[in-house]
A and B are shown apart, each in its own frame.
Chain A
Amino acid sequence: MKRHTTNRIIAGVAFLLLAGAVATSCRTADQTGGNKSAAEAVYVPPGSYDEYYSFMSGGFSGNLTVYGLPSGRLIKTVPVFSQFAENGWGYDEETKNMLNTSYGNIPWDDAHHPQLSQTNGVPDGRWVFINANNTPRIARIDLTTFETEEIVEIPLSAGNHASPFITENSEYLVSATRFSVPIPQKDVAISTFKENFRGTISFVRADKVGEMDVAFQIMVPGYDYDVSHAGKGPSHGWAFFSTYNVEQANTLKEVNSSQRDKDFIAAVNWKRAEECVADGNYQQWEASYLRNVKNHSGMARTEQLSGSRMIFPSDCEGVIYFLPTPKSPHGVDVDPTGEYIVGGGKLATVLPVHSFTKMLAAIENEAFEGVVDGIPVLEYEAVMAGEVENAGLGPLHTEFDDKGNAYTTAFLSSEVVKWDIETFTVVDRIPVYYSVGHLMVPGGDSRQPTGKYLVALNKITKDRYLPTGPELAHSAQLIDISGDKMEMLLDFPTMGEPHYAQAIAAEVIMDKQVRMYRLEDNEHPYAVTSESETRVERDGKNVHVYMSAIRSHFAPDNIEGIHVGDKVYFHVTNLEQDWDVPHGLAMMGAIASELLIMPGATKTLVWEPLAEGVYPFYCTDFCSALHQEMQGYVRVSAAGANTPLTYHTGE
């Protein structure tokens, strides 16, 4: 068995190498893409702004990156699920609680799908959400500050991949088990998968700041629930999930999960689920999970949440149906009208499109071909609206434009295929470099897609940039979709592994940006609002330094009377009240990152000196011509020494 697998891998690698060699040696102008007019199309003159903010998931970086389009310039990294030493996220006392989970404080996760908040099915620019795939969580990022403000854990789940995919008025974010597991967890043989493993589909309340929680969960068979999208317009109230591994294999899934011709798209009627909850048709299950919340000026707090309203489909008729879909579908995308549900059957030869209207009729007529765990399986012919032929090899994801076209990525044939939604016929195709996963049109999964740009998020980079050793940046490609023929405009490298991305017109959020925090509004318990309040206080072994920073000095900047064995808290308030004047603090030997403190905010660095001496600290963010002078000293005496506690600046 092992040998067989090895051969398969060798064959695959050989194929990739061959393809790579071909791609490298035969790069024609057409293959490399772009020309002079393409350069003009993406040229944003110095000092000018891009048209779109694009939010790219950071994949295994655990963060969210923000790019300007059409230039492809990286303009921000927003730390979310991973520690980020650049600004102290997850290291400083204010933010480290944001990484708390019921498993402990976790410094990393795998972030896949950004989702902008929506009103009436249109991105509204209030927040962007993103999922943690590994230890199931969903985060909310405020788009006035570009800071992560809330992270909620998903209990009774595993492999949070079909997430966060939002409903059209931001009522719910969804979550599901890509990895079915024993629910609740228990010690069983893995070979008892079919008997003991199950999945859950969760609905998380999204629309109240600081109150994200799991509204209800639905117990579903032990398949892999992969990707989701909510209904819109007439299909508002429904959410769709692709599944694979209906074979319920528990080993070598790459072979054993691909046996059947069809898997399912699960159609969940969440309004029906709300009724069942209101009528008490659910089981109250034990669950324990955390929610971390941080406001602008305070400390992140972790809250314990408990319990789950678990809906069983057999107790809540009509809450979920299975739509047979060929073959191991990955993406599930709903067109702007809400009528068509496109399944990206990654091993299928055609791209199946289901009709919401036909689905409702099939339910009404009970056109069922079977029932699984209380879930009716609808007849394929009864729900299918059409099949797109020649939609490329390995179709994955589909987005839409404002002219009635759909765009589908084909992973194996490395192309984006454009097809007409009404006729299900392919009208154009463009090669991409290489092996595209998701794609993104600004607004392309909403009720109001745009029609100018498309970004292909490619999984393989190979020869697109100057080589940088074994690891290469992933590659995104910007494509002009305004005309009949798609045109390649630009390659740009991306950080981590962007899976999905979303974009929004710059004017929706650029004027709402917070430029600084008012000192008057600083509610941090260790803030100072003036240099006159700076001081050092000892509380047993804990020493609290109430410090201020302004161009270009700290107060106090000379501190004596610290002893080995003390735990020193530097609470630094940036007294600046202007835009773009952060100060940093780095303390020699501190087992932490620096602090990066925005104007009017307070951050805290903990330092536990290990040996006697005099230790320097300094500002890390170049702040003025006298930035190099922005430094100070802490004198550390032996434990038990009688050095008095003193501090000053400028005396």
Chain B
Amino acid sequence: MTLRSTLSLFVLSATLLFSACGGSDSEPAAGQTSEAPTADAGLSAEELEHGIGPIAPFEPGPINAALAERGAELFRMKCSSCHKMDGRYVGPALGNITEERSPAYIMNMILNPQEMITTHPEAKKKFAEFMTPMPNQSLSEDDARAVLEFLRQQ
């Protein structure tokens, strides 16, 4: 599996690079390295803070208890095999994650983990530390929003 995954990651990265070449000059694609490589891998300040993926920065507002309850069930089924609230397991503890990362970053990490762990410097650091890649558990954006709400409750 890993070999295939690695290959598909490579192909994905190559595709991104390739498509970036034909893209608009003013809007660099995610992962583009056509300019001189830097420590931030060419990411914008917004991407560095809020992650790479479908979710733009947003204010989550007051905690919605019903949404958090749905998030708890999703977390149990899709996430709890690897993450606990306190203490390292397969992945990092998530009890304080909403203090460490922005809401959009958390959702982008859930929804777009492959690109995050290969492109985003913070996610790459976590991958290097924990070694097991964050899997894509195929949550919808609504599901990811519910999981975020559950995490905000912790």
Contacts and interface: CB of A to CB of B under 8 A. Distances in A.
A257 to B, nearest CB: 51
A196 B135 CA distance: 65
Interface stretch (A91-99, A397-405, A465-473, A573-581): A573-581
Interface in B1-51: 1-5, 8, 11
Contacts of A578: 135-138
A577 B138 contact: yes
Contact of A622 (B1, B8, B77, B136): B1
Given A580-B1, A623-B1, A627-B2, A530 B76 contact: yes
Interface string A517-538: 0111000000001111000000
Contacts of B81: 530-531, 548, 550, 553, 555, 575
B4 A580 contact: yes
A379 interface: no
A624 B134 CA distance: 10
B124 interface: no
Interface residues of B, number: 23
A582 B138 CA distance: 15
B80 A623 contact: no
B82 interface: yes
A120 B119 CA distance: 50
Interface in A104-127: none
Contact of A625 (B78, B132, B137): B132
Contact of A532 (B78, B80, B136): B80
Contact of A626 (B5, B78, B132, B139): B132
A359 B11 CA distance: 58
Interface string B63-81: 0000000000000111011
A516 interface: yes
Contacts of A551: 82, 90, 132-133, 135
A530 B2 contact: no
Contacts of B80: 530-532
A552 interface: yes
Given A555-B81, A580-B5, A626 B131 contact: yes
Contacts of B137: 576-578
A550 B82 contact: yes
Contacts of B133: 551, 624-625
Contacts of B4: 580
Contact of B78 (A552, A577, A580): A577
A274 interface: no
A621 interface: yes
Interface residues on A, range: 20 to 34
Nearest to A623: B1
Given A552-B132, A624-B132, A519 B77 contact: yes
Contacts of A516: 138
Contacts of A519: 77-78
A389 to B, nearest CB: 53
Contacts of B8: 580
A640 interface: no
Contacts of B3: 622
A625 B135 contact: no
Contact of A550 (B2, B76, B135, B136): B135
B77 A520 contact: yes
A540 interface: no
Interface string A608-651: 00000000000001111111000000000000000000000010
A47 interface: yes
A555 B84 CA distance: 14
Nearest to A534: B81
A621 to B, nearest CB: 6
Nearest to B88: A650
A626 B1 CA distance: 12
Contacts of B135: 550-551, 576-578, 581
A582 to B, nearest CB: 7
Nearest to A624: B132
B134 to A, nearest CB: 9
Interface in B62-116: 76-78, 80-82, 89-90
B12 to A, nearest CB: 11
A389 B89 CA distance: 76
A553 B8 CA distance: 23
17 contacts: A518-B138, A519-B77, A529-B76, A530-B76, A531-B80, A532-B76, A550-B82, A551-B82, A552-B90, A575-B77, A577-B139, A580-B1, A580-B4, A623-B2, A624-B131, A624-B133, A626-B132
Question: What 9 A-B pairs have minimum CB-CB distances, sorted nearest first?
Answer: A577-B137, A531-B81, A577-B138, A578-B136, A550-B81, A530-B76, A529-B77, A623-B1, A530-B77
Interface of B: 1-5, 8, 11, 76-78, 80-82, 89-90, 131-133, 135-139
